[in-house]
Structure 1
């Protein structure tokens, strides 16, 4: 390799490392997008062929608490199928996450889900001092087990990922850029990404229009969702960045979640087009 080619290679590597370090440095960001008292709910529809069903609801809320003598946010999410459709596929999903108020760094996480006949209970305690995650997992196929994983920097649980992604400055990215995310699911750490798809005016089911930021999060295949980039999310292009519409392919058919109600937003929903 001649000197010019070597210098070019070094410059390329330096650029890659600098870009990566820029992303990592920003992974613990100050929260500007949400505030205690925020509540957001969605109507969830299921599609199979020509059939559309008003299948259930999903709710998210934010509270302010003290955890381990630190100011923290308690994030909670509940997903429930309507009882009249439970015979098709019963869903009772509950997620809770406690994150540091200053950095949004996860501190504790609980998942209790029932999807069809499959049950899961996960509890994670994040030891940010010793860089460990203490894990208790149990599901329909495996009895209660304990595990400890090394805590990599910028690792989120499923729920804290949603709120972290609302604080990303998407204006610094170009269309099709990948924003890396490290997420712990069950007792495994996955290196995933969000693919930024640009900005778009979205017209919703109720004929309302919003200026939106559009992206595709990479998923891990589970009991409901397909793995890969099979979900598309439109979030409000304003200070809140709340999801307006979510579309996802599931193992059989697809689902859509439309914004139904919101209150306690940190700022006005200025993305709404009058």
Structure 2
């Protein structure tokens, strides 16, 4: 997979979840059609990028089954448009009950680079069909959007500090795996207030922008919404912070801690 850094950091912040092999989905879905959430990405004191994620009822059906449509746009802002302009759009169509993906597409414009992909998930034959070919898989495999929404529905009631879990998702050229460690519970402040959160530490592969010992921390609301509200990742020079800035159409009230 090519390393287009700003979008990969956005994807990394959104992706981290648990596989169904080691954790189980709750019966009640944590989100609904009409939900819209917005994240800001900052490099130091500078605004770097923004991502907006929407959930809608889809008019499309897959083998006669209804679907939810998840639509995400990600773009750089301000000075970062001059340094590395990003204009990306992602679509995922998922089963509203199992939350498994039927179909995924992306259109990425990252500086002079252009990329698009269309991906079909066949969970009966366990084959993913993408622009680059066919990819057999085992177990539950997601695109990064459906992975993010599936993660919000994991039963975390029995998680213990230090426990490590795994996710699997398809992106561009194959199926990828990441691990994540539960770090405990903390109160964390974002653009919408201070919230009781679950803290996680996903693994990072060292490279041109990550140090060997770089850390990524992700905080998710410890409530029925299970929304990631903040992420912090260390770079070779400086760090990036993802922050929840807007949320509407939520299935459950978003209740900040009262001071």
TM-score, scaled relative to structure 2: 0.81
User: 1:230-250, CA deviations, whole angstroms, 9 ceiling, x for partnerless residues?
Assistant: 421111111001111122235
Identify which of 184, 204, 216 aligns with 2:190. Answer: 204
User: 1:185-231, CA deviations, whole angstroms, 9 ceiling, x for partnerless residues?
Assistant: 2121122222111110113367x321011112335679977899742
Q: Per the alignment, do residues 228 and 76 of structure 1 end up closer, same or farther by CA in structure 2, a change over 3 Å counting?
A: farther
Where do residues 10-159 of structure 1 align in structure 2 (5 Å cutoff)?
A: 23-24=20-21, 30=27, 32-47=29-44, 52-65=45-58, 66-68=60-62, 69-136=64-131, 146-159=132-145
More helix by share: 1
Identify which of 239, 244, 257 aligns with 2:229. Answer: 244
Alpha carbons 2:164, 2:180 under 8 Å: kept: yes
Indicate the residue corresponding to 1:142 in structure 2. Answer: none
Alpha carbons 1:128, 1:151 under 8 Å: kept: no
Larger Rg: 1
Mapped to 1, the partners of 2:184 and 2:26 lie a distance apart of: 22
Q: Per the alignment, do residues 255 and 102 of structure 1 end up closer, same or farther by CA in structure 2, a change over 3 Å counting?
A: same
User: 1:49-105, CA deviations, whole angstroms, 9 ceiling, x for partnerless residues?
Assistant: xxx212231111101124212121111111111154311121212111111111011
Alpha carbons 1:238, 1:271 under 8 Å: kept: no
Indicate the residue corresponding to 1:231 in structure 2. Answer: 216
Indicate the residue corresponding to 1:266 in structure 2. Answer: 251
Higher relative contact order (CA 8 A, sep 6+): 2
More strand by share: 1
Q: Per the alignment, do residues 168 and 195 of structure 1 end up closer, same or farther by CA in structure 2, a change over 3 Å counting?
A: same
Gaps of 5+ in 1: 1-21, 137-145
Alpha carbons 1:61, 1:76 under 8 Å: kept: yes
Alignment length (residue pairs): 239
Indicate the residue corresponding to 1:192 in structure 2. Answer: 178
TM-score, scaled relative to structure 1: 0.77
Mapped to 1, the partners of 2:33 and 2:79 lie a distance apart of: 33
Structure 2 residue matching 1:67: 3-state secondary structure: coil
Gaps of 5+ in 2: 1-18
